[in-house]
Amino acid sequence: MAAQALTFFTLGGQGSNIVASPSLYGGTVNQLNHTLPKLGIETRFVTDPGDPAAWAALADERTICFFGESIPNPKGDILDIEPTAQAAHALGIPLVVDNTVASPYLTRPFEWGADIIVHAATKFLGGHGSTVMGVIVDSGNFDYASQPERFPAFNTPDPSYNGLVYARDLGVGSPLGNMAFILRAHTAGQRDLGFAASPLDSFLLAQGVETLSLRMERHVDNALAVAKWLEGRPEVAEVRYSGLESSPYYELHRKYCPRGAGSVFAFDLVGGREAGAASSTPCPCSPTSPISATSAPCASTRPPPPTPS
């Protein structure tokens, strides 16, 4: 959440707006709907994130980014990154992608046109529950000097840094390469608002990343096995997992994350909310279960699913 907030504060401020996919993690929706408006930043949610024109229709001269999750939590309705990035760039707007659920092992959004990536590193990059941390990764591809009115903070002198102009002095063509965004995030937002990770947290995260590939392989193998089992149960009305061939997002999964569709998915029980409430009462699920159900935390049907690898 801190990584997202720092990203948005770096890009804009009071009077700015964000165009976002409606399929987002609940905490992110709260941040966009309730916290950012208090600071003067509006969010406009597209009705159909699969339609690039729907994104463009909500943008104006104060739009600072398009924002979505590569594999949304919990619906798994994969963001079509490439045409969304093209729609953003046609308007002079960067695309910010939350790549938490996919991790770089499954999806690399920069290869499809994203400009900035954020991660809730606690979940998969770290993977051991040892630290709470966020990460921002800047591609260095977006030219903030090309949009001086949209990004005034990048194109006017910063009095706290002796008149430094980020897009001019640290952007495209600078001796350091295009570091305008990430250095402004460091020297302004991080300096003034305290978005800084401790050395120990950084060390623990680096240790977690060393086993990312092995852990993600096991995560997606297990998730697919459980999703297939649930899909065959008469008590289950629908399983929302793009790794299943029955999913309308299966082809997007094959395009953007062929190694696997992540380990977060949702399912609906026959009987709706009442059935979900009834099934969750006796269910001894761990609070860290990778399954997220729309009707219930888990299904307590028998027999149990096959033993994960």
Residue ranges of domains in the chain: 2-203, 212-280
Residues in the chain: 309
pLDDT at 278: 81
Q: Which two tokens stand for residue 63?
A: 């739009």
Query: What confidence tier does 291 reach under pLDDT thresholds 50, 70, 90?
Result: very low
Outline where DSSP puts E strands in 14-133. 17-20, 42-45, 63-69, 95-98, 116-120
Average pLDDT over residues 260-284: 84
For residue 299, pLDDT over 70 is answered with no
Check for a shared fold between 2-203 and 212-280. Answer: no
Helices (H), the chain: 2-11, 26-30, 52-58, 81-90, 103-106, 152-155, 166-169, 180-184, 191-193, 199-209, 212-231, 250-256, 272-280
pLDDT at 195: 86
Query: What confidence tier does 303 reach under pLDDT thresholds 50, 70, 90?
Result: very low
Going edge to edge, which strands form the sheet with 116-120? 42-45, 17-20, 63-69, 95-98, 116-120, 134-138
pLDDT at 279: 76
For residue 308, pLDDT over 90 is answered with no
Q: Is the dihedral angle over the CA atoms 38, 43, 44, 48 positive or is it negative?
A: negative
CATH fold label, 212-280: Aspartate Aminotransferase, domain 1 (3.90.1150)
Q: Which two tokens stand for residue 171?
A: 């952007």
C-alpha 162: how far from chain center? 35
pLDDT at 284: 60
C-alpha 204: how far from chain center? 22
CA 121 to each of CA 89, 102, 191: distance values in angstroms, whole numbers, following the listed order: 27, 11, 21
Query: What confidence tier does 302 reach under pLDDT thresholds 50, 70, 90?
Result: very low
Average pLDDT over residues 187-194: 90
HSE, CB side, 13 Å, CA atoms: give it for residue 281: 6
CATH fold label, 2-203: Aspartate Aminotransferase; domain 2 (3.40.640)
HSE, CB side, 13 Å, CA atoms: give it for residue 82: 6
C-alpha to C-alpha distance for 29 and 35, rounded to whole angstroms: 10
Give me the residues paired with residue 67 across strands. Answer: 20, 96
pLDDT at 25: 94
pLDDT in tens, 113-141: 999 999 999 999 999 888 899 999 999 99
pLDDT at 179: 97
Average pLDDT over residues 220-224: 97
For residue 76, pLDDT over 50 is answered with yes
C-alpha to C-alpha distance for 276 and 111, rounded to whole angstroms: 40
